[in-house]
Structures are given as C-alpha cells and as structure tokens.
Amino acid sequence: MSNFRTILAFIVLINLIGCNNSSPTKTEETPKVSTPVTVTSIENTAISESISFNAVSQYQRKNMVKSTINGYIEKSFVNQGDIVQAGKPLYSIKTKEGEALSKYAAKDSSFKFTGKLTIVAPVTGIVVEATKQTNDYVSDGEQLCIISAQSSFVFLLNVPYEQSKYATPGRNCSILLPDSTVLNGTISGKLSIVDPVSQTQSYVVKPVTSTILPENLSVLVRISKSSKENTQVIDKLCVLSDETMENFWVMKLINDTTAVKVAIKTGMVSGDKIEIVSPAFTQSDRLINTGNYGLADTAFVNIIQP
C-alpha cells in the first residue's frame, strides 16, 4: 500500500512539472536604437567656385640712383630698407673743387661757390640697396642706391597653360597672404613666355592695398571659375557618398524620430558649402549634418539640437 502511494505521488509530481514547462513564456521586446544627430536646413543663396594658384611678389621697376658729379659724399640720409618719398634727399655730395675753395668762401661772403649737390629720390619706394655711405668718393654716373618703386609692386601668378582661360586680364581675384590677410586684386596682364619645365605662364596681379609688402613673398591667388545666384546651398557635412564618389545622398527627417535616405545631384563647392542641383528642398525640410555617417536608408534618430 505504501508503494502504491509513493508511485501515485511521483506521477502527480511529474504532471505538475509538465504543466509548468508547458506554460507560455513572455518574450521581451527589442528596444529601438536611435542615433543622436543635429539638423540644418537648406539655404537659397549665391555660391561661387574658385581655383587657386601660387604667386610670388615682385617689384617690376627698380630705380638706380646715380651720382651726377665727382666728389665726396658729405652726408647720407638713407639706409637699406628705408621707405622714401619722391623728392626726399638721399645724398649730399661735395666736389673736390668745392672742398678746396671752402676756406675762401668763409672769408669772402660774396664768394657763392660751394660745390655741393643734393641727390633726391626719383620715386616713392623702398631702398633695397645702399651702395655708398658718408665720406665715400663717387664718380660721375656711379651707383649710389637702388629704390624699388612702390607703384610697381605686383604678384607674378603661375598658371598651368591648360587653365589659362581662368586668368584673363581684367579679371578680379583675391590674394591670400601667409598671415591669413586677404587682399583684392586684378589680373593686369601676362608675360609672353611659358616655363619649359612646368609649362606654366606668368600673369601679373595688381593688389589693391597701400601696405608696403616685401619682395619674394609667396601667396595663394584665388580666381572664380563660375558662380550662381539664388541656388540651393547646404553644409558639406550633410552630403554623403559611396566609395567611388559617384552617388551622393542626404538624410532627411520625415518626423522627429525617423530619417530617410534621399539621393541628390551636387553642383559647385565653395569652402564648407555645396550646391544641391536636385531634388528641390524647402526651408522647412530638416537635413542631418552630424551623426549621419553610416545610417541605414531608414533610421531612428534623436535630435539633440532643433
């Protein structure tokens, strides 16, 4: 009898275990993963695409100041690097005859011969070389100094010949100095020779500035290739592409939490802006500019900035 009770209890226990295993288990829902992003909108504005070339500063005209008499330099008024104005005294020269007769002039007030001559600056510019100084003897026609004329200061722009269509005389450009200063300039002409090795042609760029700049200064000259008015412009960060840079798209929000992929056709690029040729967007369209890399065609996002 006790064995029968034991077997019955065992059967009941098995049934209870089976009932527990057969009850349905609740499945946990997978939470939606959202990517934090920032958004921006389209701009309808002007854009221009430019091309940059190297250029070097140069003074095209250098004036050699010479002595017109034989004598000694009584006084020198300039040194190398000085900025002089046209008509400013450079040298005072006294002839040997004037030196010999100077003692008579001191005794006789009617004796007017001094034998002195003042050499003045022919142009406004910079003294790039001062050959003679005080007490030096100079001959008639001998060089005293060299002045670079400020009015002749230009940049020589080196343009590959196949791109010479962008550097036509009369075209405006911008000049970027090494200290990030930007000057306006105009292409005033070109030299009739091409470098045999680099096949570049030199163009003369006249800057619009009153600042005195040094010679042989390397700069970048930007020339506008093309421009458009009132076109669709967006941050370059918004635009994504494939590995071959053939297909481009943006991620557009269709609501506050979902972004979809929209294929686009791009146009001109200027700095951190890019033109979108098609499709047409509205000012209310929100495009992702950060956090968009690697998003699927349809993605859940979390806007961290309106």
pLDDT at residue 177, as a whole number: 95
The answer on pLDDT for 26 being more than 90 is no
- Residue 23: pLDDT above 80? no
pLDDT over threshold 90, residue 101: no
Question: Band of the pLDDT at 186, cuts 50, 70, 90?
Answer: very high
Give the model confidence (pLDDT) of 136-159 as tens digits: 999 988 999 999 998 899 999 999
How far apart are the two ends of the chain, measured CA to CA in Å? Answer: 81
Task: Specify the range with the lowest mean pLDDT, choosing from 101-105, 171-175, 264-268.
Answer: 101-105
pLDDT (tens digit, 9 = 90+) per residue, 247-257? 999 999 999 89
- Domain annotation for the chain: domains and CATH numbers: 35-48+228-303 (2.40.420.20), 51-59+152-225 (2.40.30.170), 68-141 (2.40.50.100)
pLDDT, residue 12, reads: 55
What pLDDT, on a 0 to 100 scale, did the predictor assign at position 245? 86
Residues above pLDDT 90, as percent of the chain: 51
**CA-based max dimension of the chain:** 168
Average pLDDT (118-146) is: 91
- CB within 8 Å of 62: residues ≥ 6 apart: 128, 146, 147, 148, 149
Examine the pLDDT at 22 and tell me if it is beyond 50: no
CA distance 280 to 234: 12
At residue 7 the predicted structure's pLDDT band, cuts being 50, 70 and 90, is low
Lowest mean pLDDT among 21-25, 59-63, 64-68, 258-262: 21-25
> What per-residue string of b and e applies to 74-112 under the rule 16 or more CB within 10 Å gives b?
bebbbeeebebeeeeebbbbbbeebeeeeeeeeeeeeee
Rounded to the nearest integer, the mean pLDDT of the chain is 85
**Which pLDDT score, from 0 to 100, does residue 228 have?**
86
Place of tokens 């230009």: 154
- Is the full-model pTM beyond 0.95? no
Q: 124-152: b or e for each residue (b if 16 or more CB lie within 10 Å)?
A: bbbbbebebeeeeebeeeeebbbbbbbee
| Per-residue pLDDT at 63 | 92
pLDDT, mean of residues 114-134: 88
What confidence score (pLDDT) does residue 224 get?
Answer: 87
pLDDT, average across residues 98-104: 64
Q: What is the pLDDT of residue 90?
A: 93
